[in-house]
Chain A
């Protein structure tokens, strides 16, 4: 079966649509994940969605709802426990360890078919239902609306918190809102593409974009573009080479983009600096106002 005929099948269309939506939200939150040093929060939220899914499965037979509600709870706890990144990291570590233990316990009590919960950990992008696409679409819309609304103060708070606070930016509120957005995005993404892939979509594209882009807006757009290319490219390659899971291609493309950006970054930066024709450090002599 060739690629063209695959693309007429609903499971392939669903995968591509889900991939696009996930790439969009992961690419958008990525630069903030890096600026706020929250890579570990992404990891924690992704793995803890397993606990939420197990709880959801036992209580209501619905792992997805459980994971989403659980992620908001987790975001709230992390937000309350740790304001600074160092405190936050230990808080996440503590919750992660306890949460996974709880998840395993819950799953051991469950009599039914446990793959509904374990799917949260490993994802199944070629098994996305129409309903899941709709939920994902609504969530992506919500995430984008919130991110566009808080973009500027969040950037300010991430770049220079002391200054932002002095200018009346509510650091704590913004921090919790972003954590909730992050946890929801990561959880939703994890159940479709798996925990591993969430990391390579929420962090790697932004890290690559930062190496070559100048200015926050360009960085965000480039981060989204790399995430989309990696996801859709990876899915298409997986349809062609059907013995290899898409995860492999997606993480490979994503990592390659980072590798290339690291190689090209220094020369782009150097050329840019030369074009600006100046500096760095010598300016003390040029501006003797005394």
Chain B
């Protein structure tokens, strides 16, 4: 059975659908990178899958059911956004809120909820700093906590909305590795929205590439080519390979480039086996 089944989806805000006629079927255990320029529909797709946005047309099933915000079938890892240093919240508090924060009342957690939180913290290797205020943790450590809250209910689908944004390359591969490990141990589908393909390339099974609501899907070899992307962008696109990296030069856009020049080899950036 498909973990995500989308047929003829139109979705967006106001009159104009951002996503047009999208079909998508994913298998359990698949790692899918979602690429494309800003405003092309990546976040809209995640919102639909989270049940925060109703489709204008088409059908969407996640694990056989319609998406709802409180559904534990889907785990969500938002963009990395730093916490204030003074914020009086410990790592454990944040993960616990991910479990029961939508319920009214004061902060209470039952023994079984605490056990669940402990296990998730352990799975992402965050137990040792779970008692520290989140504002004092590094960006990578904060993202591990967000991963912990996402995997609490052992979801079969993980939705990641640019979880690597604003992290340095070493932290990027650290966070990606933790997500990939969950995928392997739980045979979960990962939908990974990103601007930078290179940190996730070693793990990717298929790429879903959006341009202005249109999309192509396929293996990295199929999608990251001059022909496919020129067709999708409807303008000439260059795909350049520099060492282990792929750089897409689409018009004035350099959506996946990492031309910063300092590669943190000591953090073990994994080579892409398929190039």
Contact = CB atoms under 8 A, between A and B. Distances in A.
Given A269-B136, A280-B129, A162 B86 contact: no
B103 to A, nearest CB: 6
B54 to A, nearest CB: 14
Given A155-B107, A168-B102, A215 B69 contact: no
Contacts of B97: 152, 155-156, 159-160, 163-164
A149 B106 CA distance: 7
A172 interface: no
Interface in A268-287: 269, 272-273, 276, 278-281, 283-284, 286-287
A213 B87 CA distance: 10
B106 A156 contact: no
Contacts of B133: 214, 269
A134 B123 CA distance: 53
B101 A283 contact: no
Interface string B160-200: 01000000001100100110010000000000000000000
Contacts of A152: 97, 100-101, 103-107
A162 B105 contact: no
A124 to B, nearest CB: 34
Contacts of B177: 288-290
A119 interface: no
Contacts of A156: 97, 101-102
A35 interface: yes
A35 to B, nearest CB: 7
Given A148-B106, A162-B81, A283-B125, A169 B101 contact: yes
Interface in A173-223: 207, 209-211, 213-219
Contacts of B233: none
Interface string B132-146: 110011101100001
Interface string A138-170: 000000000011111101100110111111110
Contacts of A207: 86
A114 to B, nearest CB: 41
A276 B129 contact: yes
A155 B81 contact: no
A289 B125 contact: yes
B136 A273 contact: yes
Interface stretch (B22-30, B88-96, B204-212, B243-251): B88-96
Contacts of B88: 31, 209-210, 213-216, 218-219
Interface residues of B, number: 52
A166 B76 contact: yes
Contacts, number: 146
B270 interface: yes
Nearest to B47: A166
Given A152-B97, A280-B137, A290 B270 contact: yes
Interface in A236-290: 269, 272-273, 276, 278-281, 283-284, 286-290
Contacts of B68: 168
B191 to A, nearest CB: 13
**Nearest 7 interchain pairs by C-beta:** A156-B101, A168-B69, A287-B125, A162-B78, A219-B88, A168-B70, A166-B76
B253 interface: no
Contacts of A164: 97, 101-102
A227 to B, nearest CB: 16
Contacts of B100: 152
B231 interface: no
A278 B129 contact: yes
B69 to A, nearest CB: 3
13 contacts: A31-B88, A150-B104, A152-B107, A153-B103, A156-B101, A164-B101, A214-B88, A216-B93, A273-B136, A276-B131, A279-B137, A284-B140, A284-B174
